[in-house]
Each structure stands twice: as C-alpha cells, then as structure tokens.
Chain A
C-alpha cells in the first residue's frame, strides 16, 4: 500500500490541498462563494478530527459548528503560511478546548463511533480501538492516517517537532496492532466457546 494511494483514499471525499488553499485565499479577501465551497469541502475532516479527540458525537458536532463559526471571522487573517486544512485543525483544537470547558469534562471516549471490520474470525470495532489510544498518539494517527496530513503539517497542527509526530504515529499503530490481535484472540475464544456450548 503506497502513500500516494492511501493519501488518495484518505481524501477521496475532501478537497485537494491546492484547491482548498486557493479557495481560502479568495475567502480571506471576502469571497463568500469561495468560503462556502471551502467549508463544504473541508468539514468532514474537521468533524473526524473532533470526533477522534473526544470519542463523542455530540461534542464533535458542537466543536465542528464552533470551528466554522469562528472561521467566518478568522478567515480574513489567513495568510497561507501553512495549508488551510492545518489552519482549520488549529482552529478546531481551540474550539474543542472551549467546547470541553463548557461541557466541563475531559475528552473521554464515552461514546465511540463504531467502525466494524469483519476479518475472518469476527468483527473488530476499530473506532473503539482508536478512541482508546493515548490522546497525543490518537491525534497524530488521525491527522496523518485518516486525514492524510504529512508529518510536517501534523507537526504544525500539533505544535511539536516532526520527530515527535513520527514516534507518536508509530506508538499509535503499534498499539492498534496489539489491540487488534487481542480483540481477535478474544473473539476467536468467544466463538470457540460458543461452538463448544452449542455442541
């Protein structure tokens, strides 16, 4: 699986970076059509990001709305120093912090969105595995793997060195592989027990 292919997969329903940046530059000059197209094209990424950090659909919905409301006033200050998707993620991180403050709770994966994956021995809820990751590793994983950010862009979004992103992505993937194996073993054991009981 090449990076080029996966990047295409990750962004198959979102705007390409150069298109998004061009729309953002027009929007920063007050072009409302460009702003509408940008918001429509990028909101899935922002919602996924918010969901990945909270593990909670309602909080993700609130934070996504807050992010785009803030963008209406902040887009005039967009300078294009980083891709607009990175700029939006930074905005979303701040909105998320305020949303969590208002909700007066920490980002606990209380309501994980299911990503059921059937794989030979049964189903694995990949969404639950992702929301169970450590917050920093989870954020790095979502940005680089699910949203298709380069490590450099993810480093800007998370305000840390690129090397830190690299180690966080590795930690996240290692933890997911371990959890995947553990779930499969558990599922396989359950199925074996069920089969033995039925016999």
Chain B
C-alpha cells in the first residue's frame, strides 16, 4: 500500500464518519481531500449514493401497513405484572419468616420434632423459592408455577377450614398458611398480566407480491 493509498483510506474513513456527525474535524484528512482528485470524485459519488439511499428507499407496502395497524388495534399491549410481582415478593419474603416462627412454636406446636413435619416444611420452602423466582421473571415463570401454587393453597385452605370448624386448632394457628395463599394469588395475577394476547388472524393475501413504486 502506498502512502497515497493510506492517506486516501484515512481521509475517506474520516469523511464517512464526519458526514454522519460521528467524528471531529481532522485537518490532515481535510487537506488531503482538498488536493486529491480521486478522493473528491469518491466523495461526490459517496454523497450521491447516500442521498439516494436515504430519500428513495422503499417504505413498507400498504398491506403490511394495514396488517400492523390491525395488530396494534386488536392486540393491545400486555400490562405490567407489577401487582402480581409484589404479591409474589411478599409471599417469598414472609413465607420463610413464618416457617421459622412456626418452628419456634409461635403458631401453636412446632413441627420440628416430626420427620413428616420437616418434610412438609422443605416442600413449603421450595414453594416460597418458586414464588421468589416468579417475582423476578413473572413473564416466564409465573404461569408454570400457577397450578402447583393454586392446588397447594386450595388444599391447605380446605384443611384449615376443617380444622378450625372442628375446633382442633385456632384461627391464629392457621395464619402461618397466609403466605401460601398470597403467593398463589400473586402467581394468578402475574400470569394473567403476562398472558400473550391472542394474535389477530393474519391475512395471507397481504403477502401477494406487489409492485413497489419508488
């Protein structure tokens, strides 16, 4: 590569970025452009090509415009899952705390003495972990968690009602299950908010080749 080639390449690369407002002034490149006929010819063509590309590039064909407009009207944007995330977060944060208090006997008798009780606590802790993950990525995880969370909440609630009505335990004892219910509600709300909107039917006639007049 000769010195002239190097100067030409440098000057053209600078000009290219400078025209896009992406480079500061470069006296060396500018002085080269003032004296090099090849670069002046290149610059003129470069400006012409760029101008035509910007001004004459085709726009989206009318059928695509119509389809996008229909999508925008018929499939409104999905709402934020904020409320569901808050519920899931409360459940995930309060659940382990309630388990600790339960183990300490605050809600009646402690489960720590029995193997079955410890196993149940492990599964409940795992569910609270699921709530935490769903609060972090509700769009991906809330829907998957929902069936388990709702079933766990429903069965727990049913057993609590039976226990309380039979007088086996007090309502205060059953408050330890509140995070389970809150988490299930959070999973349901987050799933609904993140649910994909049904896509409008795509009109395949929009793909009929059409003449582009530019």
Contacts and interface: CB of A to CB of B under 8 A. Distances in A.
A39 B71 contact: yes
A164 interface: no
Contacts of B13: 166-167, 170
Given A40-B68, A43-B68, A113-B212, A72 B50 contact: no
B56 A58 contact: no
A31 B21 contact: no
Interface in A12-64: 13, 27-32, 35-36, 38-40, 43-44, 46-48, 51, 57-58, 61-62, 64
B5 to A, nearest CB: 13
B123 interface: no
B59 A126 contact: no
Contact of A9 (B48, B55, B209): B55
User: Nearest 4 pairs between A and B by C-beta?
Assistant: A3-B21, A47-B60, A32-B76, A39-B72
B69 interface: yes
A73 B68 contact: no
Interface string B53-87: 11111111101110111011101111111000000
Given A43-B65, A65-B68, A76-B80, A116 B214 contact: yes
A134 interface: no
Q: Which size bracket describes the interface of B in this complex? A: 35 or more
A28 B161 CA distance: 41
B45 interface: yes
A160 interface: no
Nearest to B195: A73
A114 B77 contact: no
A6 B54 contact: yes
Interface of A: 1-4, 6, 9-10, 13, 27-32, 35-36, 38-40, 43-44, 46-48, 51, 57-58, 61-62, 64-65, 68-69, 71-77, 113-117, 119, 126-127, 129-130, 141, 144-146, 150-151, 166-167, 169-170, 173-174, 176-177, 180-181
Contact of B64 (A3, A64, A113, A181): A64
Interface string B10-25: 0011001101111000
A169 B197 CA distance: 38
Most chain B CB within a 10 A radius of its CB, from A72, A74, A116, A130: A72
